[in-house]
Amino acid sequence: MTTSIPLVDLRAQYAESQDETGFCGKLFSTGNRTAPWIALPEELAAGRYELVAGWYRWQDGARLPRADAVGNPRGDEYVLGPVIVAAGAQPRPDIACLLLPESCAALE
């Protein structure tokens, strides 16, 4: 199973996506605040996007359906929440960058 975490624009078009094989279901369990990183391209237009999660079989690309707690079908994606991309926004340094400034060269 492969997890897809795309950033979707207001026209429901994928603006960027990160796909990872083997993401554990615990990643999306209630209360878990850990999320994978998605590198956004510099040319990404400012605006509102939705971050969604979906799953598919890597062998054939078939999307896996999701269901609610009682088994009712709920499509094949789950909206994680909104993302606002600000015009001229720059990446924020992470802890490694603060501790080892030479690791920040890519952020300049």
Q: Where are the domains of the chain?
A: 2-107
Of the candidates 7, 74, 99, the residue with the CA atom closest to the CA atom of residue 46: 7
Between these two residues, 105 and 45, which has the higher pLDDT value?
A: 45
Confidence (pLDDT) at 73 = 92
Half-sphere exposure of 45 (CA within 13 A, CB side): 9
pLDDT digits (tens, 9 = 90+) for 54-95: 888 888 989 999 988 899 999 998 888 888 888 877 666 666
Task: Give the distance, in angstroms, between the CA of residue 45 and the centroid of all CA atoms in the same chain.
Answer: 17
